[in-house]
Structure 1
């Protein structure tokens, strides 16, 4: 396992950011770390990097305890929040300075610029770079030691759609090379697209950890149908419920809780009842829908849950 934690806890006064976390992350691929704002994702990352000491429990990174982060620092690259560079210096000069500080060969500079797609822009001052280019340069800096583990906190934060696609492509590439890439993000569409493994935390407590495919088995599949004649909606609903399906009305369609394989049968039952359908479409919940079902649908619901936990005598309050 590339990362393990056992009862890992971090408190800030009365606030519990990470609450008795037990976790095992396999090596290789892209791992998504997700949770509502204030769930302790960044606190967890900082503990793993040795930037914040745990209040209790233990953890290992690449087989070594986090009580001595120097033991694995050379094998870990990280981008925490926005990358900071000297604006007037070129991308190459910035990276060369960082390589010198870490005692790394200067040859790594051109290698990582090539990996992140900035080989042709290395001599330009960073002040001319777009936000997406700066993010790629930050990832290049994290790659300088050729790490086995790469940890990125919100790498697509603030990027436009084109920049998000650039970073998405880069992360897929890095994960396919054998290294482990841990990505903290609130963009569920990105996590669903690039990650093979997912960790979900809520109020510092582990909600789910496992392959993306296992998590998506929790997704609900439904079939949306609409009769050609709107006056047939009631009759269509009666027919479908009469055959055992759960049906809800969502103008202008009816939503039937059913699998993809049931779509043809739904069409046949409607036709047998003399009802012509104008549309029939299968819908499967996205990762975002599954995530919200596990963690809460909005800030108000999350606030209510926090209040209930406090009233129950449990002081669990996430901090980012």
Structure 2
């Protein structure tokens, strides 16, 4: 569906994307994730013909991104916040856009049903919530009945219920046989509906593959807590002396790097140290934790890493 080879884009001295090589499958939901400023929007704009690459090549639906007119009729896109005439109804906005594109009015009813706005379509858009406006924006992108749907941060600014609504919509579009490329800076917002995942950081590819491939990077540990809180240090010493890798979790527990079946061994090691355990729980790190390890834990970490990367290039 989408391929790139050594794709790069620079804006003066700023490198937005560097040597990106991808091969993205057909059908399903493809998540494009990375921290803010990682190059996601730049990549989407290049795929939609809005920004020309500095170097490298790319193809969408088998056509080169240097000739977007050859494939854009088969692509629907939503970049940033959708803009509508606020005093007009959702239906009137869609009808005017359908006429501009030479599309039959029947497509308006179809896309309204798809995004779940039937029954609210005659209300002025100015009364719509942010989530409803996002759904209307996706309806606009669906008007040409595209094979590929590209959505840039469709859940940005939505409340939890709005995020759930958009997730359900994306899943339904994928089940209909479309390919949906959706970007986000939070893996947790889209991981439930993604089949394939692309992770970029500072314009560089960190991971591309099935989302299940990240599960192999998750770590399992066993969290233990002593019966008495004052025994925590002694428990740490006893387990470490027995050869276990132990770390503090910060909540009165210890995390032991181990598989679930090793729980009895840890319990016996604690007993040999004269400590009774209050709890012993097997825990596996989430995909969100793996994502944060790959991309940076917080804005302060990212800022420091960006500065270090820029200094290294200089």
TM-score (norm 2): 0.94
Q: Distance in 2 between matches of 1:87 and 1:172?
A: 28
Give the match's secondary structure for 1:57.
strand
Give the match's secondary structure for 1:83.
coil
Residue correspondence of structure 1 range 184-263 to structure 2 within 5 A? 184-250=183-249, 251-263=251-263
Residue of structure 2 equivalent to 1:113: 112
Tell me how far 1:52 sits from its aligned partner: 0.6
Residue of structure 2 equivalent to 1:64: 63
Give the match's secondary structure for 1:266.
helix
Whether 1:291 and 2:291 are equivalent positions in the alignment is yes
Q: Distance in 1 between matches of 2:100 and 2:268?
A: 70
1:138-168 CA-to-partner distances (Å, cap 9, x unmatched) read 1111111111111111101111111111111
Give the match's secondary structure for 1:100.
helix
Residue of structure 1 equivalent to 2:310: 310
Tell me how far 1:39 sits from its aligned partner: 1.0
1:21-52 CA-to-partner distances (Å, cap 9, x unmatched) read 11111111111111111111101000000011
* Runs of at least 5 residues in structure 2 that lack an aligned partner in the other structure: none
Residue correspondence of structure 1 range 1-320 to structure 2 within 5 A? 2-250=1-249, 251-271=251-271, 275-312=275-312, 314=313
Greater mean deviation of Cα atoms: 137-146 or 246-255: 246-255
Tell me how far 1:238 sits from its aligned partner: 3.6
1:188-241 CA-to-partner distances (Å, cap 9, x unmatched) read 212222212111111111111111111232122221110112343344334433
Q: Distance in 2 between matches of 1:245 and 1:62?
A: 52
Greater mean deviation of Cα atoms: 244-253 or 219-228: 244-253
* Runs of at least 5 residues in structure 1 that lack an aligned partner in the other structure: 316-320
Q: Distance in 2 between matches of 1:138 and 1:168?
A: 15
Greater mean deviation of Cα atoms: 233-242 or 24-33: 233-242
CA RMSD of aligned residues (A): 1.7
Q: Which runs of 4+ in 1 moved over 6 A?
A: none
Greater mean deviation of Cα atoms: 224-233 or 60-69: 224-233
1:219-277 CA-to-partner distances (Å, cap 9, x unmatched) read 22221110112343344334433443211123411111122333344335445655332
Check whether the contact 2:151–2:180 (CA below 8 A) recurs between aligned residues. yes
How many residue pairs end up in the alignment? Answer: 313
Pick 1 or 2: higher relative contact order, CA cutoff 8 A, min separation 6: 1
Tell me how far 1:184 sits from its aligned partner: 0.6
1:33-76 CA-to-partner distances (Å, cap 9, x unmatched) read 11111111101000000011111111000111111111111111
TM-score (norm 1): 0.93
Question: Are residues 142 and 264 of structure 1, via their aligned partners in 2, closer, same or farther at CA, if it must alter by over 3 Å?
Answer: farther
Give the match's secondary structure for 1:67.
coil
